[in-house]
């Protein structure tokens, strides 16, 4: 593993924690505005030497996870998960971060598994879809024969992907998945990747009606799990950056 796994997040948030999380999230959104505007206006796009890899990893766990994902997701969420691996790999290239490519691929494929009808949380499960999805991923990896370190790292990355920030020292793969998911969902760090590469990823894995489908799923999660991180993010206006994401027009 390239770094220790991050600590497991709280399953729900107290009132005080909700306010703190909201302040942190709003501050993060405000910091992203200049870069997003620069991208829309045709500026930014650093990292011209970055290259899109021809194929994702093809290890045993990658193959199991891909088969599982293709069976569980609808088209929009599946393409989102595949885009996340490419974006995570591109951020790793740009920031020169060594990482386990197969681990990142598996975490990318499974990070939204609890948004699917088949695997979404029930009232008796964890009141956070990311934490519940991490547990689902861990169980599947156990069935596929993954060791504890690999399972723990995948679970940590999935559980943390809704956090406002995930420093690299909390796990490089966790950091990369978080950056990739935020880019694909709300356009965070869009100016750090060149537009031609963003376009290549969108062409390889088309966005379709992703923003509409994701908004519907997250709205349901926020309504049904009001003490979760996604409920806080939704309440402070997450839908707007989803709809206005500049990556969608790259």
pLDDT digits (tens, 9 = 90+) for 1-23: 444 444 444 456 676 675 565 66
List, as own/partner pairs, every contact residues 3-7 make where C-beta atoms lie below 8 angstroms and the sequence separation is at least 24, other chains included.
3/168, 3/169, 3/170, 3/171, 3/172, 4/169, 4/170, 4/171, 5/152, 5/153, 5/155, 5/156, 5/170, 5/171, 5/174, 6/156, 6/159, 6/160, 6/166, 6/170, 6/171, 6/174, 7/170
Query: Is the CB of residue 61 less than 8 Å from the CB of residue 144?
Result: yes
Q: Is 140 helix (H, G, I), strand (E, B) or coil?
A: helix
Give the distance, in angstroms, between the CA of residue 196 and the centroid of all CA atoms in the same chain: 21
Domain membership of residue 245 (yes or no) is yes
pTM: predicted TM-score of the whole model, two decimal places: 0.85
Domain membership of residue 238 (yes or no) is yes
Average pLDDT over residues 51-56: 87
Domain membership of residue 3 (yes or no) is no
pLDDT at 11: 55
Task: State the chain's maximal CA–CA distance in angstroms.
Answer: 48
Domain membership of residue 75 (yes or no) is yes
Domain membership of residue 219 (yes or no) is yes
SS3 content of the chain, % helix, strand, coil (to 5): 65, 0, 35
Residue for token pair 């991490």: 134
Confidence of residue 164 (pLDDT cuts 50, 70, 90): confident
Report the candidate in 247, 238, 243 with the shortest Cα–Cα distance to residue 29: 238
Which of 41-45, 164-168, 210-214 is least confident? 41-45
Query: Given a cut of 90, is residue 130 above it in pLDDT?
Result: yes
Domain membership of residue 8 (yes or no) is no
Tokens representing 70?
């293709």
Report the candidate in 187, 103, 113 with the shortest Cα–Cα distance to residue 149: 103
Q: Where are the alpha helices (DSSP H) in 41-122?
A: 60-72, 75-95, 101-110
Domain membership of residue 160 (yes or no) is yes
Query: Is the CB of residue 97 less than 8 Å from the CB of residue 80?
Result: no
- The Cα angle at residue 19 between residues 17 and 21, in degrees rounded to 5: 65
Report the candidate in 49, 38, 94, 47 with the shortest Cα–Cα distance to residue 246: 38
Confidence of residue 51 (pLDDT cuts 50, 70, 90): confident
Domain membership of residue 192 (yes or no) is yes
Domains: count for the chain: 1
User: Which domain range does residue 176 map to?
Assistant: 15-249
Provide the CB-side half-sphere exposure for 2 (13 A, CA).
21
């Amino acid at each position: 593993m390239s770094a220790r796994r991050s600590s497991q997040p709280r399953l729900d948030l107290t009132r005080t924690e909700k306010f703190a999380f909201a302040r942190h999230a709003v501050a993060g959104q405000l910091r992203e505005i200049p870069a997003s505007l620069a991208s829309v206006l045709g500026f930014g796009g650093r990292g011209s030497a970055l290259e899109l890899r021809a194929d994702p990893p093809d290890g045993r766990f990658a193959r199991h996870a891909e088969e599982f994902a293709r069976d569980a997701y609808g088209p929009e969420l599946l393409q989102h998960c595949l885009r996340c691996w490419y974006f995570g790999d591109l951020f790793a290239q740009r920031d020169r971060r060594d990482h386990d490519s197969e681990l990142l691929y598996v975490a990318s494929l499974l990070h939204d598994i609890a948004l699917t009808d088949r695997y979404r949380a029930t009232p008796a499960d964890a009141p956070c879809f990311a934490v519940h999805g991490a547990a689902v991923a861990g169980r599947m990896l156990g069935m596929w024969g993954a060791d504890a370190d690999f399972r723990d790292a995948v679970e940590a990355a999935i559980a943390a992907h809704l956090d406002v920030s995930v420093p690299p020292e909390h796990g490089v793969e966790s950091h990369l998945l978080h950056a990739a998911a935020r880019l694909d969902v709300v356009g965070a760090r869009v100016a750090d990747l060149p537009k031609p590469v963003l376009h290549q990823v969108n062409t390889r894995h088309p966005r379709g009606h992703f923003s509409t489908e994701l908004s519907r799923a997250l709205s349901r999660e926020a309504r049904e799990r009001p003490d979760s991180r996604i409920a806080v993010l939704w309440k402070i206006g997450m839908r707007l950056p989803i709809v206005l994401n500049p990556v969608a027009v790259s």
